[in-house]
Amino acid sequence: MWGFLTSLNDILVPHLKSIFDLNYTEVMLIQFSFFSAYFIFSLPSGKLIDRIGYKKAMVVGLLTMGLGALLFVPAASAPSFPLFLAALIVLAAGITVLQVAANPYVTVLGPARTASSRLNLTQAFNSLGTTVAPYFGSLLILSAAPKAADEIRRMSAQALHAYRLQEASSVKLPYLGLSLTLILLGGLLALIRLPAIPEAVRSKSSRGEGVSVWKHRHLVLGAVAIFVYVGAEVAIGSFLVNYFGQPAIGDLPPNRAARLVSFYWGGAMVGRFIGSAVLQKVRTGKVLAAAAVAACLLVLTSVVTTGHVAMWSILLVGLCNSIMFPSIFVLGVAGLGSLTGDGSGVLVMAIVGGAIIPEIQGALADHIGIQHAFILPAVCYLYILFYALKGSRPVGTATT
């Protein structure tokens, strides 16, 4: 569910851009609002887990997500771009609680040597949601062809309001259905018995006094790696519909372009199932380095080519993205012991990269064009290569 809702933002970007006549910098406030919630709510989520435990925190996360999805109904009824952003913040707050609770729980659920494989497997189901969402959104949200920007600007105030009301109404039914599903999932999770894992218990005594999680260099560098990875992945996904609509790239209408976005996220799903098996035999750092090199080269290929080569090279980046988050996460919390839960909070907080980097890419797209703006994700993948080869090695505590 959190994969589905995150990927559905890629459909909201072109949809709300058209409705409210926004430029790329303005419309990237969708991703900025959504992913800023990770930064704001990660540490409070850790405190919540301290008080109520992992299972109850997951239930709270799902119910909060349900509330956020429900808020899309009044936002569409207004219709108001700021209200859409507020609904996204509430939605992302719930996802943050879920991430902070679930990721370290899965990491310590079995042997440490297969933690990366295990987290890749669970993230593969996350990718199932991200794969289905764009196709779902293309049918229910982008079903009608949007009016041209010049035509919208010539409308009277009354006609403009009526147009926005009609177009925004397409999000009501999908998000209402998602809200009810999330609330139902929260109720079901509350009834399920989850195994008690001693290593996952976050008590004050187990964390120790005077021990700072920030002293672990590989964790801090891992947080930067999560920042640039999520930023690159989200930035690419956010621009695909508009990118494929460019005459030199695909010249596709939004609803057809949105269906192709499923290949981007589908590559991540397939890669994670494959990665789950590979990572049981190959060292995590080596697999991460190979994925980073491939992703960088594919992005650069898309930047310097046109047509189908540009389209499919950028779509294949999804396959390379597949193992990155779980691999960086496992490398980042390696050897933290009782500080694993706190380390998870730091890494989840770094998901704020999904707010910052798409916004920067939006500004670049407004100034140098949408295709050349993809140079930013290429730089991000170079840092991930550094982390895989050198930055992820635990060296005790940081000296600076």
Report the distance separating Cα 276 and Cα 216, nearest Å: 26
Rounded distance, CA 234 to CA 356, Å?
10
399 burial class (0-12, 13-18, 19+ CB within 10 angstroms)?
A: exposed
Phi-psi region of 193 (alpha: psi -120 to 50; beta: other; left: phi over 0): beta
CB 219 within 8 A of CB 333: yes
Q: Which CATH number applies to 2-192+214-391: 1.10.3720.10, 3.40.50.10420, 1.20.1250.20, 2.30.30.230? A: 1.20.1250.20
Q: Would you give the distance in Å from CA 247 to the centre of its chain?
A: 28
Q: Are 364 and 372 in contact (CB under 8 A)?
A: yes
Q: Please give the Cα distance from 52 to 29 (Å, whole number).
A: 33
Please give the full DSSP string across 302-327, using - where no structure is assigned. HHH--HHHHHHHHHTHHHHHTTHHHH
Give every CB contact of residue 236 below 8 A, 6+ residues apart in sequence: 264, 299, 314, 317, 374, 377
Length of the chain: 400
In 10 A of CB 47, how many CB atoms? 12
Q: How far apart are CA 262 and CA 4, in angstroms?
A: 11
Kindly report whether the global pTM for this prediction surpasses the value 0.85: no
Neighbours of 69 (CB within 10 A): 28
Extract the tokens encoding 174: 């999908």
| Region of 348 on the Ramachandran plot (φ > 0 left; ψ -120 to 50 alpha; else beta) | alpha
Do the beta carbons of residue 117 and residue 49 sit within 8 Å?
no
If we measure between CA atoms, which residue out of 351, 371, 345, 373 comes closest to residue 361? 373
Is 244 in contact with 311 (CB distance < 8 Å)?
A: yes
- Report CA-CA distances (Å) from 88 to 9, 76, 77, 100: 9, 13, 16, 18
178's enclosing H/E stretch is: helix 172-191
- For tokens 């959190």, the residue is 2
Per-residue pLDDT in tens (0 to 9) along the chain, 400 residues: 888 998 899 889 988 998 888 999 999 999 999 999 988 998 888 788 878 888 899 999 999 999 999 999 999 999 999 999 999 999 999 999 988 888 777 877 777 777 777 877 787 788 888 888 888 888 888 766 566 667 777 888 888 888 889 888 999 999 999 999 999 999 999 998 887 665 555 544 444 455 678 888 999 999 999 999 999 999 999 999 999 999 999 999 988 998 898 899 889 888 888 888 888 888 889 999 999 999 999 999 999 999 999 999 999 999 999 899 989 988 998 888 767 767 877 888 899 999 999 999 999 999 999 999 999 999 999 999 999 999 988 765 443 3
φ/ψ (deg, to 5) at 70: -65, -30
- Token output for 238: 């956010």
With beta carbons less than 8 A apart as the criterion, state whether 240 and 10 touch: yes
User: CB of 287 within 8 A of CB of 345?
Assistant: no
Burial environment of residue 30 by CB neighbours within 10 A (0 to 12, 13 to 18, 19 or more): buried
Single out the residue of 222, 171, 174 nearest to residue 332, CA to CA.
222
Instruction: Measure the CA–CA gap between 87 and 294, rounded to whole angstroms.
Output: 36
Q: What's the pLDDT score for residue 205?
A: 44
Structure-block tokens of residue 299: 């992005």
Is the separation of the CB atoms in 338 and 197 below 8 Å?
Answer: no
Cβ-contact 317, 309 below 8 angstroms: no
